[in-house]
């Protein structure tokens, strides 16, 4: 009798656990896919970047670098899967040809979709549904001319507390003070001169973040112009 009660309790516990999982599932779907050998490169070391379409503009133009809301690494066999809230998303997959500290893509890195993609590809995630994404056959080598075409942005120098240029800094930009995930990231990490460029799609007011330091002053940008001389002095030496 005790054995039957134990089995019954286990069954009830399992049922309750499944009920909790089921309660969490509504409102979520999945995006799955795989990356494989493309251009002589294997399926490992792929990064899958996912952007919420409601949070910002399309990342495909490469006139600016947008920060993804979700980032996952593909498995060693090239497969990937992510659970997402219902919504509309953009996907950009990338594989570095040579491991480096460069913030963004470099010549010869693999990218999906191609940087000259004219029509934004959107993926609509619905509750309980799985969307398959074919990356393998569409990834291509990145070409430098696809990037740095944006004419609107912010330029300046990152300085430490003593006023010396800061090397190895990545600059982020957003339009909402205190927003957890910024929208845009600089073209690259800073070099010995501390110089940075952040490209944005249009004019407006932007706030900069460097090494978790949120610069409190807004930078006013005009569409079609690079706002230069915007130096950021970090309160502490990195």
In CATH, what number is assigned to the domain containing residue 180?
2.60.40.10
Convert the pLDDT of each residue in 100-134 to its tens digit: 655 577 777 877 776 555 567 889 999 999 999 87
Q: Is the peptide bond before 182 cis (omega within 30 degrees of 0)?
A: no
Q: Is residue 15 part of a domain?
A: no
Say how far apart CA 205 and CA 174 lie, in whole Å.
9
Are 71 and 142 members of one domain?
Answer: yes
Are 122 and 40 members of one domain?
Answer: yes
Per mean pLDDT, which range of 45-49, 165-169, 217-221, 229-233 is the poorest? 45-49
Q: Is residue 224 part of a domain?
A: yes
CATH code of the domain in which 82 resides: 2.60.40.1120
Of the pLDDT bands very low, low, confident and very high (cuts 50, 70, 90), residue 178 is: confident
Are 163 and 110 members of one domain?
Answer: no
Q: Is residue 17 part of a domain?
A: no
- Asked if the model's pLDDT at residue 183 lies above 90, the reply is yes
Are 157 and 120 members of one domain?
Answer: no
- In this prediction, residues 161-171 reach a mean pLDDT of 93
Phi and psi based region of residue 118 (left: phi greater than 0; alpha: psi -120 to 50; beta: remaining):
alpha
- Asked if the model's pLDDT at residue 135 lies above 80, the reply is no
pTM: 0.78
Q: Are 39 and 45 in contact (CB under 8 A)?
A: no
- Distance of alpha carbon 197 from the chain centroid: 18
Can you give the residue range of the structural domain that contains 113? 28-146
First to last CA, the chain: 67
201's tokens: 């799609």
Are 35 and 132 members of one domain?
Answer: yes
Are 181 and 124 members of one domain?
Answer: no
Helix (H, G, I), strand (E, B) or coil at 41: strand
């Amino acid at each position: 009798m005790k054995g039957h009660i134990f089995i019954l309790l286990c069954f009830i516990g399992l049922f309750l656990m499944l009920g909790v999982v089921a309660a969490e599932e509504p409102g979520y779907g999945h995006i799955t896919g795989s990356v494989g050998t493309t251009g002589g490169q294997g399926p490992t070391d792929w990064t899958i970047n996912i952007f919420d379409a409601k949070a910002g503009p399309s990342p495909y133009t490469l006139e600016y670098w947008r920060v993804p809301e979700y980032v996952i690494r593909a498995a060693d066999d090239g497969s990937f899967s992510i659970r997402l809230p219902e919504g509309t998303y953009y996907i950009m997959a990338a594989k570095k040809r040579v491991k480096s500290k460069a913030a963004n893509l470099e010549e010869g890195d693999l990218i999906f979709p191609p940087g000259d993609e004219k029509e934004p590809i959107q993926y609509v995630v619905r509750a309980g549904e799985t969307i398959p994404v074919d990356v393998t056959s569409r990834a291509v080598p990145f070409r430098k001319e696809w990037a740095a075409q944006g004419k609107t942005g912010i330029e300046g120098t990152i300085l430490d507390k003593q006023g010396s240029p800061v090397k190895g800094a990545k600059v982020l930009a957003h339009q909402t003070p205190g927003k957890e995930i910024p929208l845009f990231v600089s073209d690259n990490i800073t070099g010995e001169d501390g110089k940075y460029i952040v490209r944005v799609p249009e004019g407006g007011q932007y706030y900069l973040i460097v090494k978790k330091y949120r610069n409190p002053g807004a930078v006013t940008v005009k569409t079609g112009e690079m706002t230069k001389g915007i130096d950021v002095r970090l309160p502490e030496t990195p």
